[in-house]
């Protein structure tokens, strides 16, 4: 418990100034948190049976989704790229299956989009992002 409280205090000391600064600093922080979240998910979902290049592709996709532009052209590009990733991932049917691939794709889209929306909410105003964190 003591370890969690200390790490929460350290995270607040780092994160509160980034919320106040906003802009590119907040986007970079959101991207780092998105990649760390994706890493946690990948570690949970059987990383030993997945090639490492798949992890790198998923990290890159999360970064791309987080830095998505306002008209979401990169999002539409990713909808074309992700099915190709599923085919690559399922190429060796003995180790993986389509269910594993689509779980990874779903989590990639979910994590990237959520952290992108954090940056959009912060751009709308500091009070909105503070409200978001307070209600959770």
94-133, pLDDT tens digit by residue? Answer: 666 667 777 777 888 888 888 888 888 888 888 988 888 8
pLDDT score of 2: 83
Alpha-carbon torsion (106, 107, 112, 116), positive or negative: positive
Per-residue model confidence as pLDDT tens digits over 37-77: 888 888 886 656 667 777 777 788 788 777 777 666 666 67
Confidence grade of residue 16 (pLDDT, cut at 50, 70, 90): confident
Q: What is the largest CA-CA distance in the chain?
A: 51
Whether 98 and 86 have beta carbons less than 8 Å apart is answered as yes
Contacts of 118 (CB under 8 A, 6+ apart): 30, 129, 132
């Amino acid at each position: 418990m003591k370890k969690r409280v200390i790490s929460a205090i350290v995270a607040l000391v780092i994160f509160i100034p980034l919320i106040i600064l906003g802009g590119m600093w907040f986007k970079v922080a959101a991207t780092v948190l998105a990649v760390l979240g994706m890493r946690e998910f990948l570690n949970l979902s059987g990383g030993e049976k997945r090639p490492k290049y798949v992890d790198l592709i998923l990290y890159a996709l999360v970064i791309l989704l987080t830095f998505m532009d306002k008209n979401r052209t990169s999002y539409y590009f990713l909808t074309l790229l992700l099915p190709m990733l599923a085919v690559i991932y399922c190429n060796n049917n003995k180790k993986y299956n389509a269910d594993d691939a689509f779980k990874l794709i779903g989590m990639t889209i979910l994590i990237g989009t959520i952290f992108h929306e954090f940056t959009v909410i912060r751009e709308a105003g500091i009070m909105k992002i503070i409200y978001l964190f307070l209600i959770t």
